Structure 1
């Protein structure tokens, strides 16, 4: 009887250890590879598709940005840019690298993928209780005139994270109304438009994203790249090559120190410059609900909250795109996946059910669904 109990206990501990090791977390500077066939998978067709469907825009990203946003009044490059590389990507299964293509160590701009890094710093602020509730008005935290007035004073952290605040104003020389304005209206119509009640109208808008970055800078009282490095990027073993930039004029003084407020994308240059492998590590953290090995870096409850859709846009969470039912739903792909997306075809796709992370860079954006259909062909 005693022997049976001991054997049972040993077996239980062994199974617990096996479960704990089910997900592989690569140490800094390393990544264990496995053949996709070990998981009875084959990604060769998807990889060939990604390599054959490169983003059609210029490799000179300064020119690509100016061309892409040429209809915006007063648009200019204010932050650094970098000539891009070719298609690159990685597919992880249970944390193991099972497919890769291109130069995965090359640092490139990642444009609006930056927004998912930005929202992560908001989750850190909430975890540390620096923000007590995302339903609180931001004016309670930012004392200057950024959120003054009847309209802006109603805006909460959640509104900014969901991009449905309709914040009105100017930041770092950029007007909110001049960012992706309707092309069938005049400048006077843009300026005099009727404001929507915060929380009722979704608008993808980099000026308002930068307002969130500026507000979080005021909460942390230190540059957001330092916050991200200490709390996320160093613990997950990322390289030291990534950089997060703002604009040449996005400087403020806090506690007597001059600090740069970073941008949430590369719309006017700047944003996150990062390699494919670091993007995959970041994705793996979210795939595992905020835990790296057994260390919790972000509360699982907060990650769940971050993936809840807003009322005006069922395909958008806290600066992550959702594949739930809506205008951006990819019908043959599981509705539970979520992803970061950036100009030029930069994507981090998170699949918690199948324990997969897919990073693809410089894929023609309109080809994402076709690419994913090939990834999931045999799953």
Structure 2
């Protein structure tokens, strides 16, 4: 490559990075305050998982297997919010590949036994708990009995109930409060609704299948094989503890909607993105099957720009007009973005960018790559 061309590519890449930094989210860096300005205003919106302040706008760009640019604080362990969902769905995918879940079309109820909630010894009158159930049955209502793994993975389950003190209707509630508890349920698979209560139901169901804390499963099956650091942590809630096989285990969350979720640095996010780019293969090991990757990237019928949680698709170029229709991303609030583009052999991690600035960043990034 001529020196002049290399200079031009470097200048174009710098323009993309400068655009991402200038496009920093307008939300406060104090994420506790941010929570109570947003999700915390919902019914039962108080945080029950850990929240920390965020860092500077940060990113990493990997092209053809090499880091070609980075900025901000890539070693900083920050909340990654709903990028956590892609890690959760991957753990479910490995359970499917190992035959622990026979099919994603199976009813989840078949795999979830009665759940014993952890209840610390009462320091008040024990009769106060007389009407409190000892066991949790998350899939026993007539509607919930029909929900499949695929429904939960695609956010089309319309699961009904309360988990960890959060009613399903309290997450992004309908504008009409009269319908919060009275509306008819949608047949599973027919209506898409992004909902973190139902994501946490999936995490609890997966815990029952693995019978091990999901962070341990993720570490063994994905994070260690891809060479991730030892600094990431996957948190649950202060009240999401169950007794399973005689051991106390915390059911983790699929995001930071009420705190918790995955805390991770940008390098580890990039490694997971690169695993996605290589269709689940890391060096000579197939960590996630190509069949699972294909399923995760298959559009959800009621919402074609969503695959499995949290694989956001660019179907018909609607999400990011400047990117190929085949591109996808693992995305979470913040915005935290792991952009994956097989046509350009490209992974870009971008943290704390305003959602409205993402397509402008991608436009500049792809202009730089196309001149490479």
Q: Which residue number corresponds to residue 161 of structure 2? A: 169
CA RMSD of aligned residues (A): 1.5
Q: Which residue number corresponds to residue 348 of structure 2? A: 358
| 8 Å contact from structure 1 (residues 61, 81) kept in 2 | yes
TM-score normalized with structure 1 length: 0.87
The separation in 1 between residues aligned to 2:164 and 2:40, in whole angstroms, is: 19
The separation in 2 between residues aligned to 1:171 and 1:314, in whole angstroms, is: 28
Q: Which residue number corresponds to residue 133 of structure 2? A: none
Q: Which residue number corresponds to residue 247 of structure 2? A: 257
Q: Does 1:232 align with 2:222?
A: yes
Name structure 2 gaps, 5 residues minimum: 115-136
| 8 Å contact from structure 1 (residues 314, 325) kept in 2 | no
Q: Which residue number corresponds to residue 134 of structure 1? A: 104
Question: Which of 1 and 2 has higher RCO (CA within 8 Å, sep 6+)?
Answer: 2
| 8 Å contact from structure 2 (residues 83, 332) kept in 1 | yes
Q: Which residue number corresponds to residue 119 of structure 2? A: none
Q: Which residue number corresponds to residue 312 of structure 2? A: 321
TM-score normalized with structure 2 length: 0.89
> CA shift at 1:200, angstroms?
0.4
Partner SS for 2:91: helix
The separation in 1 between residues aligned to 2:275 and 2:169, in whole angstroms, is: 35
- 1:274-317 Cα deviation digits (max 9, x unpaired): 00000000100110011111111111111111110111000111
> CA shift at 1:158, angstroms?
0.2
> CA shift at 1:39, angstroms?
11
Q: Which residue number corresponds to residue 190 of structure 1? A: 180
The separation in 1 between residues aligned to 2:231 and 2:102, in whole angstroms, is: 33
The separation in 1 between residues aligned to 2:198 and 2:14, in whole angstroms, is: 40
Q: Which residue number corresponds to residue 110 of structure 1? A: 80
Q: Does 1:284 align with 2:277?
A: no
- 1:322-377 Cα deviation digits (max 9, x unpaired): 00038x53223101111011111100011122111000000112211111111112
The separation in 2 between residues aligned to 1:273 and 1:37, in whole angstroms, is: 36
The separation in 2 between residues aligned to 1:126 and 1:43, in whole angstroms, is: 40
From 211, 215, 221, the counterpart of 2:211:
221
> CA shift at 1:71, angstroms?
3.8
Alignment coverage as a number of residue pairs: 341
The separation in 2 between residues aligned to 1:338 and 1:38, in whole angstroms, is: 29
> CA shift at 1:143, angstroms?
2.4
The separation in 2 between residues aligned to 1:302 and 1:159, in whole angstroms, is: 15
- 1:164-189 Cα deviation digits (max 9, x unpaired): 00000010100001110123x12x32
- Alpha-carbon spacing, 1:295–1:38, altered in 2? closer, same or farther (3 Å): farther
